[in-house]
Amino acid sequence: MLEEVSCSWGLDLGQLHGLLGSLSHLKVLDFSGIPILKDVLPWDAFKKSTSPITTLAIKGFEESPDILRRLVAWPAKLERFSFTGCVGVTSQTWSLFTIASIISPHKTTLRSITIGALQEEGLANFDLTDFESLEHLWLSAWATGSAANYETNLLAPRLTKFYWSFTAEDQHGESLHDFGEEQERWLGRFAATAITRKLPLREIYIHYAPDIHFSPGAPPEIYPWDRMEHIARNIQDHGISLSWDSPNLTREGFKDLLKPIEYLDDLTRTFGYPGHYQPTITIDAEKPKSVIQRLPGTGPDDRGYLDDDRTWLEARDGSLIKEYKQTRSSFKDHVRATQWDNLQLTYFISYAMFNYLSIPFLFIRPDFTSRELEPHTEGGQNWRVLEVTYPDGFPTHTKVQKFYFDDKEFLLRRMDYVTDVAKGVAAHYCWDHKNIDGLVFPTLRRIVRRDGDVAALNGPSGFLIDYTNVVIHDKAA
């Protein structure tokens, strides 16, 4: 007597009914990947309220809301419903409002509802207060959102457990910013209303495991798990427990992240130029040439020039202040603590910015060679790894470097290199990719220490670059 069936990707609903229609004792149907159908389905076979199924779990549904509506109407008494994994696999636009109308015929029997991330978020018109049997509710934060005034729509009269998940279902990682003041207030109001109404809610669980190196921008001011602790203390005396995934970032590590702008402070302090700076640089994307202003150790109107290995400073009137014709050799015999002069700093910042802004276009030059290495997994993401060998004498950090591109959007996520002139071993992370005139640039970069392939993400930042304005000029125009 078969009571449970699981189906995998590629099965259409016509095949589904052919396999399951005759199973009179079937209770659980769990399937992944119902594709868009090309043929007309025999809907007369899926007669409303004729299936004995009580549990329906759907993942990766590519069909329309109308098809889901007919499928959900098939069971006579649906007790458990799960709908996940639709983000990134379908062109349909799903929202909780759409799903509410689909499951409402079973509002007297549904005991458990699970809904993952959706294309549109928000709780307006998603009202579970008349779902009289609902006990367990699992919702993605990317479906609910955290706007005020609708969180009480979830408080069914028999709800005992609520699970709120921040797990990302597409290629993007969770961020330290995803659980902030807005989410704390939302959850606080949700729990307070349950207490006021004397509802049986007893357990709230938060699924939250942010990727700290995929948290663009400045870190939040408050440790996210302290916000959860605050809610937990407020509701525990009322018989509601709040728990969450173990923090993957210590409070001490979080404090270190609060001062990431110490890149130019750390770097220039090490080499004799303490402070924070906002230089302006113009590069030639075809060859290592640049002009930079407002670097430490130079006058406000001075300009620093890079042309391959030559570096020089000019005053506003064009007069030469200082010049190195072979700048790289000026670092010979340097150690980590050796202080730099202003031309050496100009050279380092200039060639670094030239490389960062012209990657990956540099790699198509005939004097560059590359090979793909084994894939790398980090933060739940799969990255393709390109090892690039630079030509001899090219101004860059080191001759052989590794570049990590995600396998979904092929965006640059990380770079590994040794800084030959600065004597450092670095992992360089890229965030906040922006499309500027058709070209995509990571506009926030964080560089940390590295030991082999392992990056010291919980340690201090050695370097942080925030591009506040990028303008592209066509040389032919």
Q: 244 and 218: one domain? A: yes
Q: 86 and 109: one domain? A: yes
Burial 228-243 (b: 16+ CB within 10 A, else e): beebbeebeeeebebe
Supply the Cα-derived Rg of the chain in whole angstroms: 29
Helical (H) or strand (E) element with 136: strand 136-140
Q: 306 and 180: one domain? A: no
**Which residues on adjacent β-strands are paired with residue 293?**
280
The answer to whether 99 and 125 are in contact (CB under 8 A) is no
Q: Which of 235, 257, 279 is the last residue of a domain?
A: 257
Looking at residue 401, its pLDDT comes to: 97
CA gap 166, 117 in Å, rounded: 9
Q: Which pairing describes strands 241-244 and 112-115: parallel, antiparallel, or unpaired?
A: unpaired
**Amino acid letter at 318?**
G
The answer to whether 215 and 226 are in contact (CB under 8 A) is no
**Amino acid letter at 124?**
A
CA gap 414, 470 in Å, rounded: 20
Give the model confidence (pLDDT) of 418-433 as tens digits: 999 988 899 999 988 9
CA gap 200, 181 in Å, rounded: 26
Task: Give the list of residues 6+ apart from residue 198 with CB closer than 8 angstroms, or none.
Answer: none
- Would 267 be classed as within a structural domain? yes
**Order of strands, edge to edge, in the sheet holding 28-34?**
4-7, 28-34, 55-61, 80-84, 112-115, 136-140, 161-165, 203-207, 241-244
Alpha-carbon separation of residue 447 from 262, 373, 433, 434 (angstroms): 11, 22, 16, 19
**Which residues on adjacent β-strands are paired with residue 402?**
387, 416
Tokens of 319: 């007069």
Helical (H) or strand (E) element with 102: helix 96-103
Q: 235 and 303: one domain? A: no
Q: Which residue segment(s) compose the domain that 403 sits in? A: 262-466
What values do phi and psi take at 369, rounded to 5? -125, 155
Looking at residue 263, its pLDDT comes to: 38
What values do phi and psi take at 98, rounded to 5? -65, -45
Q: 302 and 271: one domain? A: yes
- Would 8 be classed as within a structural domain? no
**Number of structural domains in the chain:** 2
Q: 339 and 239: one domain? A: no
Looking at residue 264, its pLDDT comes to: 43
Q: 266 and 249: one domain? A: no
- Would 475 be classed as within a structural domain? no
- Would 248 be classed as within a structural domain? yes
- Would 272 be classed as within a structural domain? yes
Looking at residue 211, its pLDDT comes to: 72
Q: What is the dihedral of CA 100, 101, 102, 105, to 10 degrees?
A: 100
- Among all chains, which residue has been given the structure tokens 């979904």? 408
- Would 16 be classed as within a structural domain? no
The answer to whether 118 and 141 are in contact (CB under 8 A) is no
The answer to whether 72 and 63 are in contact (CB under 8 A) is no
Would you call 237 helix, strand, or coil by DSSP? Answer: helix
Tokens of 474: 């066509």
- Would 288 be classed as within a structural domain? yes
**Cβ neighbours around 111 below 10 Å, total:** 18
Q: 250 and 266: one domain? A: no
The answer to whether 63 and 14 are in contact (CB under 8 A) is no
Task: Give the list of residues 6+ apart from residue 151 with CB closer than 8 angstroms, or none.
Answer: 123, 144, 186, 187, 189, 190, 193
CA gap 372, 78 in Å, rounded: 50
Q: 145 and 239: one domain? A: yes
Looking at residue 388, its pLDDT comes to: 97
Going by C-alpha positions, the residue among 58, 52, 61, 97 that lies closest to residue 79 is 52
CA 386 distance to own-chain centroid: 21
Q: For the domain that residue 452 is a member of, what is the CATH number? A: 2.50.20
Q: 267 and 396: one domain? A: yes
Q: Which of 257, 288, 307 is the last residue of a domain?
A: 257
CA gap 282, 475 in Å, rounded: 12
Helical (H) or strand (E) element with 434: strand 424-436
Looking at residue 152, its pLDDT comes to: 92
Q: 234 and 279: one domain? A: no
Q: 244 and 385: one domain? A: no
- Would 68 be classed as within a structural domain? no
Q: Which of 206, 231, 257 is the last residue of a domain?
A: 257
Q: Which pairing describes strands 80-84 and 136-140: parallel, antiparallel, or unpaired?
A: unpaired
User: DSSP character for 54?
Assistant: -
List of the chain residues with pLDDT < 50: 38-40, 171-172, 259-265
